[in-house]
């Protein structure tokens, strides 16, 4: 049995073993503390592998191609950020590189390592640090913002030149959906339950993000 602090009201309570699809609510405020997933590791792992493939495709194939007066040009996300850097837009280039390349790449890498490592319990203690890293990266990986930006640019440029959406753009669209699906299927509580030090080295209770209760 696990002890957990409610994220809303901080009440410490024991979580019973959950059947697949079962839910535990806080007995004081009703916040859902844990949901019993029928498949807490394999489904998010499959989605994360799909996201890794979509990420590689999104960054190696052209986002869009432009043709105007007989000339043709196409660019990838990385080339776009590099061009901005060269033209002096260094802050924008850094933000694009971080939110479109480093953060989503880091999130996929962390999640992939965590989900592979927890397949055989007990998971080593560094898995906890990786899971924290993934949580820190998620808000910064702004695939949906990037997709919106690309669409706005497409509509604006379409007046001046012929624009063909590239494979990369469909891959970014797939990434938006996959990231949401990973967040919906991954169960941090099940992962923490398999991390060795959460129970053995440190007996104090932790919440679903691994923070110690009562701090």
- Give yes or no for residue 152 binding Zn ion (CB under 5 A): no
Positions 7 through 36 that interact with Zn ion (CB under 5 A): 8-9, 11, 26, 28-29, 31
Minimal distance, residue 26 CB to Zn ion, in Å: 3
Check if the beta carbon of residue 132 is closer than 8 Å to that of residue 113.
no
Residue with tokens 């891959």: 171
State the alpha helices, DSSP H only, in the chain.
Answer: 42-60, 77-86, 90-97, 103-117, 126-137, 143-158, 167-185, 188-194, 196-199
Which window, 4-12, 43-51, 66-74, 204-212, contacts Zn ion (CB under 5 A)?
4-12
Minimum Å distance from CB 135 to Zn ion? 21
Q: Is 121 left (phi over 0), alpha (psi -120 to 50) or beta?
A: beta
Closest contact distance (angstroms) between CB of 205 and Zn ion is 14
Q: What length is written for the chain?
A: 215
Q: How far is the CB of 184 from Zn ion (least distance, A)?
A: 22
The smaller minimum CB distance to Zn ion, of residues 13 and 74, is found at 13
Residues near Zn ion (CB under 5 A) are 6, 8-9, 11, 26, 28-29, 31
């Amino acid at each position: 049995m696990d002890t957990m602090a409610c994220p809303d009201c901080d009440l410490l309570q024991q979580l019973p073993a959950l059947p697949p699809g079962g839910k535990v609510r806080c007995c004081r405020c009703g916040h859902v503390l844990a949901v019993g997933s029928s498949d807490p590791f394999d489904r998010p792992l499959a989605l994360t592998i799909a996201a890794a493939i979509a990420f590689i495709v999104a960054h190696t194939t052209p986002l869009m191609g432009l043709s105007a007066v007989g000339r043709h040009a196409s660019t990838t996300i990385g080339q776009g950020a590099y061009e901005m850097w060269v033209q002096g837009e260094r802050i924008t280039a850094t933000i694009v590189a971080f939110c479109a390349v480093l953060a989503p790449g880091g999130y996929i890498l962390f999640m992939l390592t965590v989900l592979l490592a927890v397949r055989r319990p007990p998971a080593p203690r560094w898995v906890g640090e990786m899971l924290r890293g993934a949580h820190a990266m998620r808000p910064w990986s702004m695939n949906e913002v990037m997709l919106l930006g690309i669409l706005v640019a497409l509509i604006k440029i379409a007046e001046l030149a012929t624009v063909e959406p590239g494979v990369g753009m469909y891959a970014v669209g797939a990434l938006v959906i996959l990231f949401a699906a990973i967040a919906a299927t991954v169960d941090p509580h099940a992962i923490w339950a398999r991390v060795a030090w959460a129970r053995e080295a440190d007996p104090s209770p932790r919440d679903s993000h691994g923070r110690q209760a009562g701090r």
